[in-house]
């Protein structure tokens, strides 16, 4: 299994349980590992034989700007399913961090793993 990773992808989204927290977009940081068979791309050197990480990042930013989530877990599941379904990944490991959301914490968040 081959892996492409996108590290510390900063995105803006509306996230939080109380309505006031979702009223203004906040920064969320994503660390993403995408499992895919890159053997064909290694031979062809062609972008169409791999996952275009620029398109992945753009699509995530687009969908998170359009949606509001109460839970970090729901946001994470949304992103994983997007990558699995739209980009035909074999699996996704995702870490979602909300930086500086609570006093005395650098960040809080979740880490999930999904497969087809």
Question: In the numeric block, which tokens belong to residue 41?
Answer: 């791309």
Q: Number of folded domains in the chain?
A: 1
pLDDT at 81 over 90: yes
Question: In the numeric block, which tokens belong to residue 93?
Answer: 């490991």
Share of the chain above pLDDT 90, in %: 83
- C-alpha 28/C-alpha 104 separation (Å) is 18
Provide the whole-model pTM.
0.92
Q: Which residues does the annotation mark as catalytic? A: 98
Q: Assign 3-state DSSP to the chain and report helix, strand, coil percentages, each to 5.
A: 35, 40, 25
Ranges 2-11, 16-25, 87-96: which has the least confidence:
16-25
**φ, ψ of residue 13 in degrees (nearest 5):** -155, 165
pLDDT at 22 over 90: no
Domain span holding position 23: 2-115
pLDDT at 13 over 90: yes
Mean pLDDT of the chain: 94
pLDDT at 94 over 90: yes
- C-alpha 13/C-alpha 75 separation (Å) is 9
Q: What is the pLDDT of residues 64-79, one digit of tens each?
A: 999 999 999 999 999 9
Kindly report the CATH number assigned to the domain that includes residue 101: 3.30.1130.10
């Amino acid at each position: 299994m081959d892996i492409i990773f996108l590290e510390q992808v900063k995105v803006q989204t509306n996230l939080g349980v109380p309505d006031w927290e979702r009223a203004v977009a906040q920064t969320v940081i994503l660390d993403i590992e995408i499992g895919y068979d890159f053997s064909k791309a290694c031979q062809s050197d062609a972008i169409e034989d791999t996952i275009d990480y620029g398109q992945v990042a753009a699509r995530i930013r687009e969908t998170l700007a359009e949606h509001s989530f109460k839970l970090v877990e729901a946001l994470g599941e949304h992103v994983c399913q997007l990558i699995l379904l739209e980009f035909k990944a074999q699996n996704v490991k995702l870490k979602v961090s909300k930086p500086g959301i609570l006093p005395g914490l650098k960040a809080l968040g979740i880490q999930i793993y999904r497969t087809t």
